C-alpha cells in the first residue's frame, strides 16, 4: 500500500523539466511544455488544412468544415445571434481542452492534470463571462444584474463569481486526475493490452465529454450574463 502510494505520488507530481536561466531561473513546468506541443499541433494542423482550401470542399476539408460548422451551430444556438463575436475564443477553448485531455492516449501527461492549468482556464472563463455581460448590457446593466431577481439575492450573486470558476476548475481537474490515476493503477497491475481498452474510455470519451461540458457551461453562463431584462 505504501509502495503504491509512493509510486502514485511520484506520477501525480507536477515536474519541472528545466528552468530558463535568466532572472535567477524561471521554472518551466511540464504542463507548459505540453501546452506548447498542443499549440504546435493546432497551429500546424490549421495551416495544413487551410492551405489548399477550395470552394467545393473535398476529403479532409469536408471533415474539418463539418466540424467547425457543428461547433458554430452549437454555440450560436446557446448564445443567440449576439454571440457571434465570441465564437473563435470558445472554439479555441474547446479544441485546446479537448486535445489536452486526449493527449494521454499517446502516453503524454495531460496538462489539465495540473491544478494551475484548470484554475487558469476557469478564471479566464469567468472573466469572459463578465466581459460579455458588461459588453452587451453596459456597466450599469451589469451591476444591476447582481440584484436579480430580488435585492436580497445580492450576496449570493456575488458569491457566484467565486463558485462558478471554482466548480468549473475542480470538475475538469478532478475528472482528468481521476482518469489519470486509474490509468496509472491499471498500468501498474497489467502493463500490456488492458490499458489500451480503458484508455479509450478514460482518455478519449471522458476527455471529450469534459471538454464539451466545460465549454458548454461557459457559454451557458455567458448567455445568462448577456440576456436583457
User: Which DSSP string do the residues of 176-211 spell out, in sequence order?
Assistant: HHHHHHHHHHHHHH--SSHHHHHHIIIIIIHHHHHH
CB of 132 or CB of 210, closer to other proteins = 210
Q: Is 198 in the site for other proteins (CB under 8 A)?
A: no
Q: Does 5 bind other proteins (CB under 8 A)?
A: yes
167 binds other proteins (CB under 8 A): yes
Contact residues for 49 (Cβ-Cβ < 8 A; gap 6+): 60, 61, 64
Cell of residue 176, nine digits: 482528468
In sequence order, what are the residues at sequence separation of 6 or more whose Cβ sits closer than 8 angstroms to the Cβ of residue 95? 42
CB 91 within 8 A of CB 98: no
The sign one gets for the Cα dihedral 123, 125, 126, 130 is: positive
Nearest distance, CB of residue 213 and other proteins, angstroms: 4
State which residue, 101 or 210, has the beta carbon closest to other proteins.
210
Of 137 and 214, CB closest to other proteins: 214
**Contacts of residue 61, Cβ cutoff 8 Å, sequence gap at least 6:** 49, 52, 53, 54
Considering the rule CB under 8 A, would residue 76 count as an interface residue with other proteins? no
Q: Is residue 9 at the binding interface for other proteins, with CB under 8 A as the rule?
A: yes
Q: Contacts with other proteins: how many residues (CB under 8 A)?
A: 22
Segment interacting with other proteins (CB under 8 A) among 24-32, 51-59, 94-102, 163-171: 163-171
173 binds other proteins (CB under 8 A): yes
Residues that bind other proteins (CB under 8 A): 1-2, 5, 8-9, 12, 167, 170-171, 173-175, 177-178, 181, 209-210, 212-213, 216-217, 220
Amino acid at each position: 500500500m505504501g509502495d503504491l502510494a509512493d509510486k502514485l505520488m511520484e506520477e501525480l507530481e507536477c515536474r519541472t523539466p528545466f528552468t530558463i536561466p535568466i532572472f535567477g531561473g524561471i521554472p518551466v513546468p511540464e504542463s507548459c511544455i505540453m501546452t506548447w506541443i498542443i499549440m504546435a499541433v493546432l497551429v500546424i494542423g490549421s495551416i495544413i488544412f487551410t492551405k489548399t482550401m477550395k470552394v467545393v470542399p473535398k476529403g479532409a476539408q469536408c471533415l474539418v468544415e463539418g466540424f467547425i460548422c457543428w461547433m458554430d451551430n452549437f454555440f450560436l444556438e446557446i448564445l443567440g445571434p449576439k454571440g457571434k463575436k465570441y465564437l473563435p475564443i470558445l472554439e479555441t477553448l474547446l479544441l485546446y481542452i479537448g486535445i489536452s485531455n486526449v493527449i494521454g492516449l499517446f502516453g503524454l501527461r495531460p496538462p489539465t492534470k495540473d491544478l494551475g492549468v484548470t484554475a487558469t482556464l476557469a478564471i479566464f472563463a469567468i472573466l469572459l463571462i463578465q466581459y460579455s455581460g458588461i459588453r452587451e448590457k453596459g456597466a450599469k446593466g451589469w451591476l444591476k444584474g447582481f440584484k436579480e431577481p430580488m435585492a436580497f439575492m445580492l450576496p449570493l450573486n456575488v458569491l457566484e463569481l467565486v463558485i462558478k470558476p471554482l466548480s468549473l476548475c475542480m470538475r475538469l481537474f478532478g475528472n482528468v486526475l481521476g482518469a489519470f490515476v486509474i490509468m496509472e493503477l491499471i498500468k501498474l497491475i497489467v502493463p500490456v493490452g488492458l490499458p489500451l481498452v480503458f484508455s479509450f474510455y478514460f482518455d478519449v470519451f471522458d476527455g471529450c465529454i469534459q471538454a464539451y461540458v466545460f465549454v458548454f457551461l461557459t457559454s451557458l453562463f455567458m448567455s445568462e450574463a448577456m440576456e436583457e431584462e
